[in-house]
Structure formats: C-alpha cells, structure tokens
Structure 1
Amino acid sequence: MLLLASPDLLDPNFVDSVVLLLDVNAEGALGVVLNRPSALPVSEVLGEWGDVVDEPEVLFQGGPVSTDGALAVALAAPGGEDAVGFRSVTDRLGLLDLDTPTELVVGTVERLRIFAGYAGWGAGQLQGEIEEGSWYAVPGRADDVFRLDTRDLWRDVMRRQPGDLALHATRPADPELN
C-alpha cells in the first residue's frame, strides 16, 4: 500500500509525498517516502552498496525518523525471496538487511533503493490521520518504488486512482491562485 499526502497535509516532511508502507500492526506503522531523493551518493555513505542500487544512485530521504539509519527496499529476483538478508513485505518486494555482504545479494535482487530514515506512526495514529483526511491509502506497484524520476510520482499515482480521487492529480500547487 501507498500513502499519498492529501492537499491538506502541510507538514514539510510530507507535502506531496508518496509513502510506501512496509509494516502496519497494532503497535503502529512504518514506511518510507519514495519521492525525496537526496544529492548524496550511496557510495559515499555505504561504499559498495552504491554499485548495487538502482539509478539514481543516491540516498532517498525516507522520513524524519532515525535519519542516521538506513533501510533498503528491494525487489527480489524470481526465486530470490528466500535469499540471505531478504524479508518479504509483499510478494517479491521486501527489506534487505544492509549487513548482508553485497556479493550474496548480486543475482538475488533485481532492484534496490536505500532510504535514510523512515516515516513512523504510533498505535492508531496513522488511522486517525487517514480519517481526518491527511492521507489517501491506495494500492501501489513495484515500479512506483524504483522509479528513476520521482518528481511526478504523486500526480501519476493519484491520476490512476478511481473516481474523484484522480481529480487531485490536476490541482494547482496553490489552489487559491486558481
């Protein structure tokens, strides 16, 4: 599932953001922001992981929590779901343990992106924010996670939604100027 920030969500960490939910349970939720690439190359921070990640080979700002840590989201190669260090989230999409030697990853992972930090919500917090209209929960696709140019990701995901939700894709950045 993806979370799309609604036009009413003005928190600068999440304006126009697309969040991939990685874990949701009774204790809360955790995800990463997909459309916030940084200018920092992965290789400068995580060495040889820079040779394994998808283009652009930069860290993505996964969210405001634990920005000094990193989460790796991977698409396992067919049959690679049981690879060392891989934990499935859904189908072949999952988390990859960055303590895994890169030589064990080559061939088991088709795509990889690394996020500095994450977005997190306590018990019931995300549900409350969805109910108040801060987020739209929508189905996602693997290609949303590994998109080369993420600038229009929010609009493109919104555009493919059914009914009135798709109308938000054409809203101006500042509706008062319309």
Structure 2
Amino acid sequence: MDETTLNGRSIHGKAQDMIARQFADDLVALLPKMRRFARGLARDAADGDDLCQATIERALRSAAQWQEGTRLDAWVYRIMRNIWIDENRARARRGPVLPPDDAAFDIADASAQGIEANVELGNVSRAVAKLPDDQREAVLLVLVEGFAYKEAAEIIGCPQGTLTSRLVRGREALMRYLGEKP
C-alpha cells in the first residue's frame, strides 16, 4: 500500500489524496492575494505572475514541510519572498533590467465611477514600485496584505523593530512620491 508522511504522521491512499486535495484547494484560495503580492514585489505584471507560478510549484512540491496549525499564507509568502530574492540575485549576475513604465497593480473596476480611483491606484502602485526592496516588502505585507507586524517580520526574516522602521520609511517615501506631507 502507498504510504507517506505529512507533518510526521503516516498517511495511506485515500486519506493522502484528501489531504493533498485540501492543501491544493487552500492554495487556490490564496491565489488573488499571492498574485497581488507577487506583482508588487516584481514591479511587473508578467514577472509577478511568473513568481506566483514558481511559488505555487514549490509549495506543492514542499507540502510535507508545511506545519499544520500554522498560517498557510505566511508560509507561502515566505516561499515567494525566497524565490524573489533568488531571482533578483540571478538577475543581478546577468545585468540590470529596467521595469516597464506602466507597471501597476491589477485594476478590476473599469466603470465611470472607478476611473478616478483607478488613476489614483495607478499612482500609488507606481509610487510603491519606486520604494527600495526592503521598504516595498514591508509596505506590501502590512498595508496591502494585512499581516500583523510580527507575522510580516517572520515572513521577511527580520526583527519586528526593523520591519517597523522599514514601514515608517516606506510610508514617508510614499507620501513624498504622492505629494503629501509626511
């Protein structure tokens, strides 16, 4: 009989399939948030989608490493961040690549009422893209994705005080970019 382990427990046949299916369903439910975060990190829609796909592939391959009872989203974001760092290192070895001028977050509402909001969202997403990587990560995790400071610090792998400093500097820079006084 096919036997494997998940979180230290032996699993057989149908039970294994049910757990794998539930894990995959939970990943699918996270896709919109993952995609938004990936596009914010990558500063480009296509690169963000590639990052999201690579993250899903690695998460599925590493499903046995996820600890039941912990936050799946935090675990997946940590995987995504690690892939992004690895890709940036590889890209740095290959040479600089400039992001496109039109890099922005997805804008779902194209109605007449939403046009002004879409323009402002585009301005904000361009401002976020200008932030240094460490500040952009903090802003995306806390302000966009809604993680608590402690959780965001764990995802990034830094002390909570460091995350707080990055977030403060990121907010101040965003306000400058958007023409508001800090």
Q: Same fold (TM over 0.5)?
A: no
**TM-score normalised to the size of structure 2?**
0.28
More strand by share: 1
Kindly indicate whether structure 1 or structure 2 has the higher relative contact order, using CA contacts under 8 Å at least 6 residues apart: 1
**TM-score normalised to the size of structure 1?**
0.29
> Higher Cα Rg: structure 1 or 2?
2
More helix by share: 2
